[in-house]
A and B are shown apart, each in its own frame.
Chain A
Amino acid sequence: MNVYEVFLKKDGREEFRHVGAIEAATEDLALVLARESYARRAEGDLLWVVRRNHVISAEEDFVAPNADKPHRHHDGAAVASRRKAARESSSHKVAESADEVTH
């Protein structure tokens, strides 16, 4: 028996998504059983099964150092708030100068 990871995709939309795993004795049984276990309500139009031991995975220690780099987490919030402040102060100045003209 082998463990197969199961992926589904809606035709023309989105990407293949991992939906679960299945244990099967042959590749064809993996497809047959994955179809009924994961796509019986038309959750996808395209089906992949991949032998779990064919997935090349990295060690956790190899990936972990990237969790400690907050400077790469720029969601734009700091820049956006500075731009907003700049915008507001300049429109304030415009309003003031318009006031002076009417007088």
Chain B
Amino acid sequence: MREFLLAFADDEHLMGQQHTEWIGVAPFLEEDLAFSSIGQDELGHAAMLYELVLELNGLETSDPAISDPAIDKLAFGRSSSDYRSCHLVEYSTRHWSEALVRHWIYDTFEELRWRLLIDSTMTPLASVTSKALREEAFHRRHANALLDKLLEAPEARARIAAALKVIAPMVPGLCEPVAGEAEALAEGVTTGSIADLLEPLTEAANRRFAQLIDCGLVTTGFIGGGIIGGSQTDANSSDTNPQDYSHASSGRTQRSEFFDPLMTRMREVLDYDPTAVW
């Protein structure tokens, strides 16, 4: 059960961190605010999920003086092999277009993932879920509002198609459950496997990016290895991804090459002064 909650918490934690890194450097000021707000929401979800992990361990979480350092220790203090994040959230994007495409995919998936928990037998998890789902509605509206407009413009369309080719191969890994999911299913903590979300996510992506498929910039499908480049070459075709992210099933136990640099950025202040008081 611990692993099951950790997988979600770690995804939220790393995704939140990656989104907030756009503060000050997003394409325009209002987007700085909106995108890092969304990142803050994800960090909030992570903190609530880590707290549930601590409660499983019997820690009394009503006193922040005790629970806050324990949450920090879980969030920042584990060895990399103990994390259960997927590669999609570990990946360091190179362009805003990649961050936007990942934002849409991640939040579409995240909403489906929370819906599996709304009737959870773990009552505190069900109440975290209803709070999170209210926030997800905004996250998805934000991503859709941007994509609605950008997909109308040929230059933006080419950039989004190039980004999709980089991000899509990581999507099956996003839908890969941890070993602990079977136990969570058996106890009614969750009502479905995240592996079953790959299909609705793929269908949603095919609708969302239909304009790219129609004009031959990408061909369809996340299932079985991601969206593959269409016949039409685009402006960024030489800008290929340095690593093969094709999905190898590992139950989320393997970290990508991006994890350690990301964790170093996140721990920067903590490593500088481990006794710092916030």
Q: Residues of A with Cβ closer than 8 Å to B?
A: 22, 24-26, 28-29, 31-33, 35-37, 40
Cβ–Cβ < 8 Å partners of B30 in chain A: 22, 24, 33, 36-37
Number of interface residues, chain B, beta carbon within 8 A: 13
B40 smallest CB distance to A (angstroms): 10
Asked whether B37 is an interface residue with its Cβ less than 8 Å from the other chain, the reply is yes
Contact digits for B78-121, partner A, Cβ 8 Å, 1 yes 0 no: 00000000000000000000000000000000000000000000
A26 and B145: CB pair below 8 A? yes
Asked whether B72 is an interface residue with its Cβ less than 8 Å from the other chain, the reply is no
Q: Residues of B with Cβ closer than 8 Å to A?
A: 30-31, 33-34, 37, 138, 141-142, 144-146, 148-149
A37 and B33: CB pair below 8 A? yes
A29 and B138: CB pair below 8 A? no
B273 smallest CB distance to A (angstroms): 29
B147 smallest CB distance to A (angstroms): 11
> Contacts A22-B30, A40-B33, A40-B37 known; A35 to B138 CB distance under 8 Å?
yes
Q: Sort A-B residue pairs by CB-CB distance and give the 10 closest, nearest first.
A: A33-B30, A36-B34, A28-B145, A29-B145, A36-B33, A25-B149, A32-B145, A32-B142, A37-B30, A36-B37
Cβ–Cβ < 8 Å partners of A25 in chain B: 149
